[in-house]
């Protein structure tokens, strides 16, 4: 491994492991194909989560949006609202992989619906960038999950700057990394729907409802245990391991996004079925470094001087294609046997 001259990240000469491991697992466990495909139950849960969050916003605006109860309002936004708005964000993630409904169009509409409590029109733009993250993992020009070079330079491994960076992570992850581009037709639909629903939420729930939902979005993608996966997924906590999984309780409110090695290996398996998938393929994952606490992950990242914002692996497009060819050879050999 070496540091590329024009990149602050560690350049590797190996293809990402997921393409190759996927081929090997399919060769040994063809039965996992039964786990693939959309999960209607998760689609229904997404609809329920949106309505529950809006109802909670209504009651928070009635009871606690005043000078006497400001601390209850903040606490409700952090303890409940952040979890709910992060949860619908993970529903948007599921929809990006077409895992909530049978068709692409239905998944796009469900992702836009899940976007309503977040208040910012991000669902369709996220879909575009996230699919590139999977297909071009580690390629800076394509993988939007990397911190920008500007972030790495100014944040480095400073405890204070890492704290501030994570506290305002929602802004860095959307505004700094080229996330904002010329909208596609579906993105314009997303923008229009969210603008309309924002106006309706303000009309019916007032400043209290809007403030609760904005704080829920801010906290849910900030220094909050459920947001720990943004750091844990691909930063290098263990040398040589590009993707990290989490097997803790918060998976129950995140569509099991913590099963991240498993998700990158088979992104067409819905989150609700990933524990079943893990039970079948456990030998491939049990010896990989993992975590059972995203809270510890955040604290370790902030306070450890070893944890630098440049601890990511990057590779070239030609190396990515080498991995695809290796996977094809494995598939070919399996067919010959």
Please answer whether residues 140 and 146 qualify as being in contact, where contact means their C-beta atoms are separated by less than 8 angstroms: yes
What's the rounded mean pLDDT across residues 55-76?
A: 93
Q: What CA–CA distance (Å, rounded) separates 33 from 333?
A: 19
116: tokens are 């309503």
Give which of 217, 216, 224 is closest to 295, Cα–Cα. Answer: 224
pLDDT of residue 179: 58
Q: What CA–CA distance (Å, rounded) separates 6 from 4?
A: 6
Model confidence band, residue 171 (pLDDT cutoffs 50, 70, 90): confident
Sign of CA dihedral 57, 58, 63, 68: positive
Q: Is the pLDDT of residue 337 over 70?
A: no
Model confidence band, residue 172 (pLDDT cutoffs 50, 70, 90): confident
Q: What CA–CA distance (Å, rounded) separates 186 from 180?
A: 14
Residue range 139-165, pLDDT digits in tens: 998 998 999 898 999 999 999 999 999
Q: What CA–CA distance (Å, rounded) separates 285 from 288?
A: 5
What's the rounded mean pLDDT across residues 27-47?
A: 97
Residue range 223-258, pLDDT digits in tens: 999 999 999 999 999 999 999 999 999 999 999 999
Q: What CA–CA distance (Å, rounded) separates 108 from 190?
A: 9
């Amino acid at each position: 491994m070496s540091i590329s001259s024009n990149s602050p990240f560690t350049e590797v000469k190996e293809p990402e492991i997921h393409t190759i491991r996927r081929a090997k697992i399919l060769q040994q466990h063809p039965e996992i194909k039964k786990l693939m495909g959309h999960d209607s139950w998760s689609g229904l849960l997404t609809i329920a989560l949106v309505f529950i969050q809006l109802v909670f916003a209504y009651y928070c605006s009635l009871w606690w949006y005043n000078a006497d109860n400001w601390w209850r309002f903040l606490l409700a936004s952090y303890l409940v609202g952040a979890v709910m708005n992060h949860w619908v964000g993970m529903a948007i993630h599921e929809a990006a992989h077409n895992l909530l409904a049978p068709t692409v169009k239905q998944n796009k509409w469900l992702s836009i619906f899940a976007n309503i409590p977040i208040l910012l029109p991000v669902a369709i733009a996220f879909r575009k960038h996230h699919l590139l993250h999977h297909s071009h993992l580690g390629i800076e020009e394509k993988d939007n999950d990397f911190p920008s070079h500007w972030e790495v330079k100014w944040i480095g491994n400073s405890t204070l700057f890492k704290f501030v960076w994570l506290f305002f992570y929602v802004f860095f992850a959307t505004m700094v990394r080229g996330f904002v581009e010329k909208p596609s037709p579906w993105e314009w639909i997303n923008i229009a729907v969210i603008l309309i629903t924002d106006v309706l939420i303000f009309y019916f729930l007032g400043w209290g409802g809007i403030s609760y939902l904005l704080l829920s979005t801010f906290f849910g993608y900030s220094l909050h245990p459920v947001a720990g996966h943004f750091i844990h997924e691909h930063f290098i906590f263990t040398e040589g391991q590009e993707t990290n999984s989490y097997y803790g309780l918060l998976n129950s409110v995140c569509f099991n996004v913590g099963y991240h090695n498993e998700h990158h290996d088979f992104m067409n398996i819905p989150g609700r079925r990933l524990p079943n998938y893990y039970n079948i393929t456990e030998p491939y994952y049990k010896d990989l470094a993992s975590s059972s606490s995203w809270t510890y992950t955040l604290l370790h990242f902030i306070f450890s001087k070893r944890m630098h914002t440049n601890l990511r692996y990057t590779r070239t497009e030609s190396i990515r294609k080498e991995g695809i060819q290796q996977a094809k050879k494995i598939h070919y050999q399996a067919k010959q046997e």
